[in-house]
Structure 1
Amino acid sequence: MEAIEPAYGTATLLLIAAGAVALLLFLIMKLKLHAFVSLVLVSVITALAVGFPVAQIPDVLMFGFADTLGSVALLVAFGVMLGRLLEVTGGAQVLADTLINRFGERRAPFALGVAALLFGFPIFFDAGLVVFLPIILTVARRFGGSLLVYALPAAGAFAAMHAITPPHPGPVAAADVLGGSIGVTMLVGIPIAVVAWYVGVMLVSRWLGARIHIPIPEVLFGEARDSSGRTPEQQGGANGNEAAPGHRPPSFGLVLLLLLFPLVLISFDTVIDTLVTAGTLEEGQGWAEFLGLLGSTPVALMITVLLAIALLARPRVSSMSEVTATLDDSLGPICSIILITGAGGMFGGVLELSGIGGALSDSLSDLGMSLIVQAFVIATLLRVAQGSATVALTTTSGLIAGAVADANLGDFQISLLVVAIAAGATVLSHVNDSGFWLVSRFFGMDEKTTLKTWTVMETTLGVSAFLVAGGLWLVV
């Protein structure tokens, strides 16, 4: 769908958006109304307030909901299945034990973050988080303390790589619109993303984890298990549908292979899209389209789940019916996560189609400030107003493209502008961002706590990236 012609001025639209966010927080945090119901209700009220024709409102609501649900539901379902198989067969414990033995307990959060930086290079934020979740939870269970200490370094690493570095679609699109080199943007973006992760995520997560205790959630993977996949009850002699006692846990190499496999497949799609955008690869070639199919996130995760069933579960579980029961058990708890995340996309979609982005863009097109500061400010305001980081990235790039062309900038300077735009599109993730709800539900945090942790960390990550890019801009 296309955005409507705004019925109100920019100031009025911003007030409506602010009022909608305030109403949503009031319903959830004060009245304790379920987040899914609250998000749908506020989406309807907002659609009426901004002036959508009543007959179009159902389609408007489905725009954001269906788009988000389509990308999240399959990803989360297959990701949780894979995570459950890793957990019940002892694979996650094997990986966690190896990680801890190599890096030590004190450096475990840092090791998780570094691993996520490497894994996050070709894989999208949400896919990486889903695949990595069992390892995060297993390490956190082993050492105790606040989940934030272990979860934020890894989640923040995926967020940093996804937002700032090619071959991810946001920075690739921004570099293309601004006429820059995708290769230079990658070479500049990766070190800035690493520095911004350490300052804005790693150090901040230590501070947040020491002050806010988040218990290890049981909703996704059930009770803690030992390396043979047994619950405490099973260790005491009870029987269940999980990995049978006595079976040896999988090897570290097998577990690592299963984690790397979807990343390799997904990288096919990501790299091919990047090559097509850069003009290196001609669009429409059959072999490239087939690799793109294998690399689409749902297909890649489905194939990995099938491999996990064959290589992990069947040698350690007595029958295929028990494997199916285990997978079925993993799906029930994620219904709420999927629906709430979809409803968050619905709310963001209403704001996107309301025309607030276009109205805000028109008023920000000539701010009379340094180009890199202008890029960051515009992206930040668009991100806060309508929630979508992708929209903020692409819209900001289009707005400043003319000024960038007139300034005759080199590839290095353009790459710094791409980082500044990505930084602005990262900060202040809140209730109109579907990613906010994904993190909130995966980590078992209520909305207030998510604002105090995830929103703060996303902001420090984005600001850190902008400060590094701004400092380099002054030097060159």
Structure 2
Amino acid sequence: MENFEPVYGTGPLLGIAAGAIALLLLLIIRFRLHAFVALVLVSVLTALAAGIPVDGVVPTLLDGFGGTLANVALLVGLGVMIGRMVEITGGAAVLASALIKVFGERRAPLALGVASLLFGFPIFFDVGLVVMLPIVFSVARRVGGSVLLYALPTAGAFAVMHAFVPPHPGPVTAAVEIGADMGLTLLVGTLLAIPTWYLASYLFGLWAGKRFELPAPDDLLPGGEVKHEDPPRLLTVVSILLLPMLLIFANTGMGTAVATGAVSESAVWVQSLRLVGETPIALLITALYTMVVLSRGRFTRQRVEEIVGGALGPVCGIILITGAGGMFGGVLRTSGIGDALAGSLESTGMPVIVAAFIIALALRVAQGSATVAITTSAGLIAPAVQATSGLSSIDLALIVIAIASGATALSHVNDSGFWLVGRFLGMDVKTTLKTWTVMETLIGFIGFGFAFGLSLVL
């Protein structure tokens, strides 16, 4: 809502914000209300409490919701279509087998982790884990040792890519809320995800695998590793994974070249490269390419339509939650709560990137959902980001990583991922806390350490 002047001072506005967050947590944790409904309800009540006129409440809600979904829904929808086509044709098994041959069976944990990092770009955490676990179990039985040696590097790879790298909904939403460049966020997220995974997941997985002897389950995924009659060729799988990254990086590179005067922005070839490298266009091209090369000789056009259509259903809830998070963020900005928070943070002298991490971490611990933690934190911190002068495009991308890191750490019993990993690996709660929770916490704090360190030197 344009031209709205806040009717309360900093103290009351911060009190309203605290009450809104408390109510949101109460609705989700105590009353088990779906996060989407809870966010919409709290957004309405916050708008009214902050003094937004009744006839301006709905426009404010719709602006925040629509502005977020305009980016998130497009990227997430195309991303899951690509991931589903790769998953159903057996691309994961092809790449994992090739990497194990290259690295050798003694380094199978590293090979499985690298394969999961690559597949973590288009495939969501839970889907990727379910696809890779039969391969993990098969390798664990063949090579020997605790299943954690192989499972933790695999699960950690999907977790870090899901948190740090677009087109996953968390980093996409955070980038939209604070105004970070999507291509640069992808580049920075990818570069930080790799060392974070190596330290927090791979090395920890090697240690935990020696500390906790856990046999590979043989009854949780009936039938074991899925056999595909006509799997895609390795080069085909690699081309699908690299195509969107190359297109997006080309756009980012062209933007830098234009800014430095190396090329003319008006040149047709420059504009063309920038267009195909825009994240939605790059994913659209990749989705079309994936459908063509993976369906040839395998599926009819009708079957391809069924596959990609079926991929959208499971992510609708995530898309709606991120949109509702954007709605809440819009209310915070319009009502003046965001500016009040920004002023308070400035008076404490706390860097915005640190505040972003702490807020996301607190919300993650309180209610469990990383998606809710990211969307809510991004909405809260966005006005402080906009009010802070001197932030570069890289700084904004690093703040996105800080939010994602806070929303990843300290996964425990209120997080669905905690139970997913524990159940599939046959671990009790105590062992899951000692392995999965510790690994997620390492990912969060090490990822934030890298982001904060770079923010100091760049």
Do they fold alike, i.e. is TM over 0.5?
yes
Q: Does structure 1 residue 329 correspond to structure 2 residue 310?
A: yes
In the superposition, relative to structure 1, how do residues 191 and 258 fare at CA in structure 2: closer, same or farther (>3 Å)?
closer
Query: Which consecutive residues of structure 2, in runs of 5 or more, have no partner in the other structure?
Result: 138-146, 167-173, 218-222, 364-374, 409-414, 422-431
- Compute the displacement of 1:256 (Å): 0.6
Contact preservation (8 Å) 1:379, 1:393: no
The 2-side partners of 1:133 and 1:279 are apart by 44
AA matched with 1:6: P
AA matched with 1:156: V
Aligned partner of 1:153 among 151, 157, 163? 157
The 2-side partners of 1:262 and 1:12 are apart by 46
Bigger mean CA deviation after superposition, 335-344 or 388-397: 388-397
The 1-side partners of 2:203 and 2:11 are apart by 37
AA matched with 2:78: F
- Compute the displacement of 1:288 (Å): 2.4
Tell me the number of residue pairs that the alignment of Structure 1 and Structure 2 aligns: 401
Q: Does structure 1 residue 33 correspond to structure 2 residue 33?
A: yes
In the superposition, relative to structure 1, how do residues 24 and 415 fare at CA in structure 2: closer, same or farther (>3 Å)?
closer
Per-residue CA distance 1:123-162 (angstroms, 9 max, x = gap): xxxx935488865542234225787753433442575577
Q: In the TM superposition, what are the counterparts of 1:91-130 in structure 2 within 5 Å?
A: 91-103=91-103, 110-111=110-111, 128-130=121-123
The 2-side partners of 1:25 and 1:9 are apart by 25
- Compute the displacement of 1:253 (Å): 0.9
Q: In the TM superposition, what are the counterparts of 1:65-464 in structure 2 within 5 Å?
A: 65-103=65-103, 110-111=110-111, 128-130=121-123, 136-143=129-136, 150-157=154-161, 159=163, 195=195, 198-199=198-199, 226-228=226-228, 247-277=229-259, 280-317=262-299, 319-365=300-346, 367=348, 374=351, 376-377=353-354, 380=357, 387=376, 389=378, 392=381, 395-396=384-385, 399=388, 401=390, 425-429=403-407, 456=441, 459-464=444-449
In the superposition, relative to structure 1, how do residues 157 and 101 fare at CA in structure 2: closer, same or farther (>3 Å)?
same
Bigger mean CA deviation after superposition, 382-391 or 346-355: 382-391
In the superposition, relative to structure 1, how do residues 204 and 415 fare at CA in structure 2: closer, same or farther (>3 Å)?
farther
Contact preservation (8 Å) 1:379, 1:396: no
Secondary structure at the aligned position of 1:128 is classed as coil
Query: Which consecutive residues of structure 1, in runs of 5 or more, have no partner in the other structure?
Result: 121-126, 163-167, 176-182, 217-222, 229-246, 405-413, 431-438
- Compute the displacement of 1:251 (Å): 0.9
In the superposition, relative to structure 1, how do residues 105 and 457 fare at CA in structure 2: closer, same or farther (>3 Å)?
farther
The match for 1:465 is 450
Contact preservation (8 Å) 2:193, 2:447: no
AA matched with 2:156: L
The 1-side partners of 2:67 and 2:401 are apart by 24
In the superposition, relative to structure 1, how do residues 112 and 343 fare at CA in structure 2: closer, same or farther (>3 Å)?
farther
Bigger mean CA deviation after superposition, 297-306 or 2-11: 2-11
The 2-side partners of 1:291 and 1:387 are apart by 34
Secondary structure at the aligned position of 1:249 is classed as coil
Secondary structure at the aligned position of 2:21 is classed as helix
The match for 2:425 is none
Contact preservation (8 Å) 1:7, 1:51: yes
The 1-side partners of 2:56 and 2:200 are apart by 42
Per-residue CA distance 1:434-469 (angstroms, 9 max, x = gap): xxxxx979x979xxx9xx799856741454226745
Contact preservation (8 Å) 1:76, 1:130: no
Q: Does structure 1 residue 18 correspond to structure 2 residue 24?
A: no
The 2-side partners of 1:311 and 1:280 are apart by 36
Q: TM-score, normalised by structure 1?
A: 0.65
In the superposition, relative to structure 1, how do residues 197 and 96 fare at CA in structure 2: closer, same or farther (>3 Å)?
closer
Per-residue CA distance 1:91-131 (angstroms, 9 max, x = gap): 222123223443467866655665787x79xxxxxx93548
In the superposition, relative to structure 1, how do residues 6 and 87 fare at CA in structure 2: closer, same or farther (>3 Å)?
same
Contact preservation (8 Å) 2:157, 2:201: yes
In the superposition, relative to structure 1, how do residues 52 and 469 fare at CA in structure 2: closer, same or farther (>3 Å)?
same
- Compute the displacement of 1:89 (Å): 1.8
In the superposition, relative to structure 1, how do residues 97 and 201 fare at CA in structure 2: closer, same or farther (>3 Å)?
closer
Give the superposed CA RMSD: 5.1
AA matched with 2:11: A
- Compute the displacement of 1:347 (Å): 1.9
The 1-side partners of 2:85 and 2:187 are apart by 37
Contact preservation (8 Å) 1:429, 1:454: no
Contact preservation (8 Å) 1:94, 1:227: no
Contact preservation (8 Å) 1:379, 1:392: yes
The 1-side partners of 2:187 and 2:92 are apart by 33
- Compute the displacement of 1:395 (Å): 4.7
In the superposition, relative to structure 1, how do residues 92 and 65 fare at CA in structure 2: closer, same or farther (>3 Å)?
same
The 1-side partners of 2:351 and 2:116 are apart by 31
The 2-side partners of 1:81 and 1:415 are apart by 29
The match for 1:63 is 63
Per-residue CA distance 1:284-328 (angstroms, 9 max, x = gap): 4432222222122222222222222222113112x3222222222
